[in-house]
A and B are shown apart, each in its own frame.
Chain A
């Protein structure tokens, strides 16, 4: 980064007779980095070839993978949908969670602290079971008590359960991210806002949050990448996403390695794409306020 800014026009002294020396050094440096990158990519390719070769030796059927690739790949839609909806809710939960944690109100502090402790202290899988299988049981009890509305409200579809579980779970972890982001804004900003007469709420909304969001957004990206993979757990409820499709065929035809390697590859590619998008986002956030 620092090297590249030096090539900007006007940054170097045009009268310097050794100007070409700087350019040469820059070119050499770039060349060295490119070669390094090429070598690393070579190692990746070699590893993939070795793995693939090994698997083929062990009577893995590539034909079966190719044949079922389309139908498993179709589950990506669900994977992305579940992740996108969940990350949205998780972000909202995290915002309020962080505000609660940082507030002086003892009730808000208590609720958010309790929420984070319980959710981070229990496995996501158990949370999914409780929401998908446990809640309808309570719902039934309400139904027998003559409150059918509550009964149907507590009986969630696989998609709703998955989204609820992932949102609540990630919301708890992201609360800490939001809290750190809000606290990363220099204290002077707070003081300047208060000094011109803002309330705490106005200060948060107008001064702290707009700055904190630039710190937080790249982290939301990281959480989204992690969530795409955790969304595989939703398959236990029979939602037709990648993992569920893969495991269905795997069990039916006893093609476990074929199908799970395929699923793994799909998640991997999804992650690579998301990481790339996230990097762009992060770069844009870093150049804040320079336009």
Chain B
């Protein structure tokens, strides 16, 4: 079993939920397949989906909901 990270494609603010009232896209311990939406990055007032590029189980998130991120920053650890 190897651990891989999903990186932010963009700089901006990372959101784990589609809206404040909704549940998180992915919780720790949940399965995560390639192409699954794991969060949103808000950049310059537009929202972009972040998709997983690995299959496995979510180990943990490396950034908090609504935290500022830079492009290429690891967002989430996945165990393959």
Is B one of A's binding partners? no
